[in-house]
Amino acid sequence: MLLTGFSFYFFERIIMFTTPEQYIAAHKAAIDTLHAVAMKSVEGFERMMELQLQATKASMAESNEQVKALLSAKVAERLG
């Protein structure tokens, strides 16, 4: 049996292409899909970092207020 064209494994199936254009189109579609997945991953990471920065800023502001309250209480005790 004579097979012509290109073939490769895709999710455990053999896909045959009879023309180079089909092969190129399939690879272009695969690259486009990988790019979309990579962009979603980067967007998710970016959002996670934004949330982490917000939490860090809130924590630092809260700690700053607590330190100010603690220092003002110690000064008031010394004066009394």
What's this model's pTM, rounded to 2 decimal places?
0.56
pLDDT at 1: 40
How far CA 56 is from CA of 49, 62, 68, in Å, comes to 10, 10, 18
Higher pLDDT, 35 or 25: 35
Question: Averaged over 24-46, what is the pLDDT?
Answer: 94
**Domain boundaries, given as residue ranges, for the chain:** 6-79
User: For residue 54, what pLDDT band results from cuts at 50, 70 and 90?
Assistant: very high
Query: What is the model's pLDDT at position 4?
Result: 46
Residue-level pLDDT at 38:
96
Q: What is the DSSP letter of 12?
A: T
* pLDDT in the model for residue 51: 97
